[in-house]
Amino acid sequence: MTQRSTAADFVQGFATGWPENQPEVMILSLTTQKGVQDFAMTKEQALLVAKTIKRTATQLAAPKLKA
């Protein structure tokens, strides 16, 4: 998993239903070199993803400053 050939170029999450008749569904859309991938998730799944992202973000190293 450490050597990924494709990285997400753009990530977007939106809570509109997909299809529009399902407001309980959140869509996470990733744009990569291979195209767009949409992932539908429930509220519980979306909260778990957000919690994981927040936990990981707090562990990131500080950005390196250019000299």
Contact call for residues 28 and 39 (beta carbons, < 8 A): yes
Phi, psi of 16 (to 5 degrees): -75, 145
**How far is residue 54's CA from residue 49's CA, in Å, rounded to a whole number?**
9
**How far is residue 33's CA from residue 48's CA, in Å, rounded to a whole number?**
26
**How far is residue 62's CA from residue 3's CA, in Å, rounded to a whole number?**
22
Task: Encode pLDDT of 9-62 as tens digits.
Answer: 767 666 555 556 777 888 887 777 778 888 888 889 988 988 998 998 899 888
Whole-structure pTM over 0.85, yes or no? no
Domain limits, the chain: 10-58
What confidence score (pLDDT) does residue 45 get? 92
pLDDT at residue 8 above 70? no
Task: Name the residue with tokens 């927040």.
Answer: 54
